[in-house]
Chains A and B, each alone.
Chain A
Amino acid sequence: MTDSSLIARREGWIAAWVGENLIMMHAESKFYLNLTGSGSRIWELLESPRSVSDLCEALGREFDIEPDAARPEVLAFLNQLLLRKAIDVHPPGLA
């Protein structure tokens, strides 16, 4: 996964806000994820596919940090989502 990788939500996930938590379920496997804070914001931003750098810039603006400072955390989080089959990465591959 690099700055230019395109990140897209994978199909089959449904999500709902429960208080501060964004609870997600993969309908077929009944696998649950609970996202909070910037994690849930990243999922919202992925409503349409975005590049990693685009995500970092958007989060940097919203959370008032430099995109470069956000990048390691964003990449680590995206890797977690990828391992749980919640997103697709183009071209494929972990960071």
Chain B
Amino acid sequence: MATIPNGDANTLRVGPHSEYSCGMRTILISLNDDPQYGPYVLCGWHLKSAIPLPELTLWSGVRKSRPEETVRIELQSLPPNECELPYFINGEDGVSLHVKGVGGFRVNRRADRVTVLPEDGVDPLLLRIHLFGSVLAILCYRRGLFPLHGSCVLLDGEAVVFSGASGTGKSTLATALARRGHPLLCDDICAIDLSNPTRPMLRPAFSRVKLMPDAINCFQMGEAVTYSQAARGPKGHFGMAAIQPAGAIQQPVPLGAIYALSTPSGDQPSRSLLQSKNAFVFIESQAHRGWMGRNLGLCEQLFGHIATLAATVPVYRLDRPCDLDRVDEVARLVETAHNAVCAPTEMEFRQGTRNGREDCSQ
């Protein structure tokens, strides 16, 4: 294992000579030509960063990275007058986007260099959320991967993705399964490698999840959470929660199933297989920032990836009750469906809700 320090998540070094205090966090400004954090591994890429990225796993092992799998993240100060409007431009040199209140991001044409230009006083967590969101999606599109909007765990040797619109409980269900011992492979973006169209593979990202406060409370995971500085919507501050020691799985994993989540409804959890046409429509709707992929001129790549996924990976509709306290019931249904072995959780012991599953702890 590499022993390079993972950096302080609350410190952001951006340019020369000054220091800002921003609430509880300090933003240090110093001139760094060379990325100094990492190397990390993200979706199989060797990533060096000028920003500490504590969510990521350090690149492990003795294997030297190949040039084509290397990505560098650099920092620049934001030029004056550049933080007024959000924009997305696909230009000659690459992609530029700006998120109001966060900063600018540039991804070069070869998608091996990301430049981050933070706005003054930005919440470093928010900056990383966008790095692991839109910027990661651009890297995926440009590097020939399909970024599916969803969270993913490893069940019986296969990657199982929970996908759906924001607020449908993807991260919550993945967290419930992760806390039952199934490694979390990624959250929000699932990078899928379709270079072998008969065997789609998931490239693990990191084992942290972004959760809203109600879910954080439900899982009683207060201490393992980094919270956003500002509230987001009526539910309040979201948090990035560490699920388990990072770095467990870095190798690609075969994609076993996709679960299509909608707003929870119904009484008993159940799943049903979508017809391939509906599977196509669902996956098409959950391409992460699909409009960006099309804007990058990658319509045909995107269409091919969606069709291949819909033809090769089963997509299930998952119905479940709208009750966070019953999330373990849903997790059990998914475990059983994938023959995944799991020891009873502490909560199940307390509640005595585990029935007829003696075989699964063997």
Contact = CB atoms under 8 A, between A and B. Distances in A.
B276 A20 contact: yes
Interface residues of B, number: 15
A83 to B, nearest CB: 21
B310 interface: yes
A19 B276 contact: yes
A18 B279 contact: yes
A23 B307 contact: yes
B303 A14 contact: yes
A94 interface: no
B126 interface: no
A27 B307 contact: no
Contacts of A28: 299
B232 interface: no
Interface residues of B: mostly helix, strand, loop or mixed?
helix
A30 B284 CA distance: 11
B280 A21 contact: yes
A80 interface: no
B277 interface: yes
Interface string B281-321: 00010000000001000011001100110110000000000
Nearest to B297: A27
A18 B304 contact: no
A16 B307 contact: yes
Given A16-B308, A18-B310, A30-B294, A23 B300 contact: no
Contacts of B275: 19
B233 to A, nearest CB: 30
B303 A18 contact: no
B310 to A, nearest CB: 5
Given A18-B277, A19-B277, A27 B308 contact: no
Contacts of B304: 14, 16
A34 B303 contact: no
Interface of B: 275-277, 279-280, 284, 294, 299-300, 303-304, 307-308, 310-311
The 10 closest A-B pairs by CB, nearest first: A19-B276, A16-B307, A27-B299, A18-B310, A18-B276, A18-B311, A21-B277, A25-B303, A18-B280, A18-B307
